[in-house]
Every structure is written in C-alpha cells, then in structure tokens.
Chain A
Amino acid sequence: MLGMAAYLYYLMTDSYRYLIWYFWIEGTLFLLLMTAAESFLALQCRAGFDADEPMRLAWTFIALSSFSRFAGAVLMAAKGWHFTWITGQTSSALALISLERLARIGDVVGGPLALALLAAGLSRVLKIQRMFNVLSRLTRMDRLLIGLIVAFTLGQVVNIAQYIAHRPQLSTVFLWLSDPLLALLLIEAVLIRRSVIRVGFGLISQCWGMYVIAIVTTSAGDASLWAANAGLLSAPMTALSWYIWFFASAAFASAPAYQLAAMSLPSAEESAARTRV
C-alpha cells in the first residue's frame, strides 16, 4: 500500500521524494528481512537431511547462497544508512571510504557469489531429479529459449574479454560475471520448470517453482536496469521496475519455506493426530 502510494505520488507530482524514502527505508528493511528469513529457512531445510543424503549438499549450497545475499544486503544497507548518521563527524571521511569499499564487497557477495552458489545447488538438484526420472524431455520452445540464452551469454563473454584489456578493478570483473551466471541459472530454471510441470503442484515442486520465479524476476530486474541505463525505459517505467526486486526476494524466501513445509507435514500430522486422541 505504502509503495503504491509513493508511486502514485511520484506519478502525480513528478517528485521522487517519497519514492526514495520508501525504497531507502522500507525497501531495505524488506530486503534484509527476506534474506534473513531465506537464510534461516534454507539452513532448516539443510538440517532436515542427514550428512550422507545427496540433497544435503544441494541445500548447503543454497543456504550459503542465501547467506551471501543476506551479507550483501547488510553491507549495502550499512553504506546507505550510515551516510546520514555520520555526517558532521570528524572521522566521517575515513568511515565513508571504508563503507564504500564494504558496499563494493557487498555487491560482489550478494551478486555473483550468491548466484554462483545457487547455480551449484540447483545443478545438484537437477542431477538428483535426473536420477529419479523427474526431468522430462525438453520441448522445442525450451530448446529455443536455451539457445537464445546461450547466444546472449556468448555475446556477453566477448564483451567482457574486450573490457578486461582496459584493466578494470577486480570487483568490477566479478560483477561482470553476474550476467553469465544469471544465464546459467535461467537454463537451470527452464529444466526445473519442466520437472515441476511433470510432477504437478505439490509442496516440493512449488519450492523449485519458486526458484524459477525468483531467477526469472531477478533476470527481469537486471534487464530493466540495463534498459534504464541505455535510455530505453521512460522514467515512470524505470521507477516501476524497481518493484521487481520485492517479488524476487519474496520468491527466494518462499522456496525453502515450501521445502520445509513438505518436510514437516508428516510430523505435524502426527502431532495433530495425537492431540485429537
């Protein structure tokens, strides 16, 4: 409601005042809360599997990816919020420099590192799904989509190779990895989507379905950032595209919640039955 009000105010007055407040305060709090919840839930899912079970490693990677996203959100929020608290203090210049550096680390930890860990976790899930024949054959449309993603990624890799010749900062090089990693995650999402369609909508398939939504919305957010920078989006559309990140972080947090619900359902039923007796 607040977000909608802030956006409507912006549309009517052309002033970013409340929109910036909204994203700065509520947006940051929402992101911190979602990534913290995601980390906690992913850790609980991991604990539900014994050390020798194949899904344990998948959830270890996914939990690490959640922690990376949380750490990245904390570092970036620290920079954004600290800016106002420290102004006027003698040590502020030094503090700002280190916070700037921390925010840069936050960008890498919450971006490409989290994506790489998620890609490792999901590839493990796909391997297990293949073992149990859960993955079905790809349709022509799926192959076309994967082909387009691969072509786009190869184009990106060529661009990156050209930019590397200009000796960029290490953190910048890491940030360039975000797009190829997102492309890899999109390919995994296409495969997972097939498996979800194959098994129908149970709690486990909804868990993986949520990761598909999270990956697609993250890619859409990334694409809208690129389009806004390239001047392809109008100002109201650019402001509207910022809301995508709420859906992405909510989907990332919902996925382990579904897995945990599936794992706790039999024991919850047992407790309910005992209470009835």
Chain B
Amino acid sequence: MKDEGGILSAFGFSMPPDEAAAVDELSRQLLSWSHLWSGHPEAGEVGSKHRLVRKRLATWLGRCIGQRARGLLTSSAEDLSLAISTPLLTAFLGRRATRELSRQVLRDL
C-alpha cells in the first residue's frame, strides 16, 4: 500500500497501488488545469497548451462580448487567462454559460 511518494502519502493516506496511481494522475491533471486556468505555466511545462487556451479564450471573448474585450482585461495578450476573464464573462453571460465556455476552452487539454 505504497503511494510512491505521491500526493496521498504527503497527507498520510494509503491505498492499493493501482488506485493510488489513478488518484495521482487525477491530481496531476487538476494541477495542470489549475495552471491553465490561472495562465501561469509551471517551469518546464509545455507552453503550447497555454497558447491554445489563450487563443481559444480570445476567440470566445471576441464572439460573445466584443473583439476588443481582451483589452479591458489585460494590456498584454500573454496575460490573458480564464482566471482574469471569468468575472467579466460571468457578469454578462451568466454563471452557467461561462461554465460551458470554460469547458470549451479547456477541451482536450
């Protein structure tokens, strides 16, 4: 019942190796989504995913709010992220539509 130094062992939990591996994979995925959400890549992380998220998000902002909506959120295109655009999108599209939009932005990532 070893956790091979994963997140579970850090919290003092133990479970069968196959389950522990699945949970570890999930936690890695959640961490990756959280980095994509915030727009801050971890050192050594593939930048193409972040570029794709920014591109998709800029397209959605343009279609739903307006082509210049990105300029209201950040002066640099590199800083655009789901974290900074969610309040604006939620205000004008509503919580449910913004949730769907975030799913579309993070699709297959």
Contacts and interface: CB of A to CB of B under 8 A. Distances in A.
Contact of B60 (A134, A200, A266): A266
Contacts of B107: 273
Chain B interface helix/strand/loop/mixed: helix
A265 interface: yes
Interface string B55-92: 00000111111111100100000000000000110111
Interface size class, chain B: 20 to 34
A132 B104 contact: no
B94 interface: yes
Contacts of A134: 72
B41 to A, nearest CB: 25
B63 A202 contact: yes
Chain A interface helix/strand/loop/mixed: helix
A204 B90 CA distance: 12
Contacts of B101: 266
Nearest to B90: A53
Interface in A223-277: 262-267, 269-270, 273
B64 A265 contact: yes
Interface of A: 48-50, 53-55, 128, 131-134, 196, 198-205, 262-267, 269-270, 273
Interface of B: 60-69, 72, 87-88, 90-97, 100-101, 103-104, 107
5 contacts: A132-B87, A202-B61, A204-B66, A205-B66, A266-B60
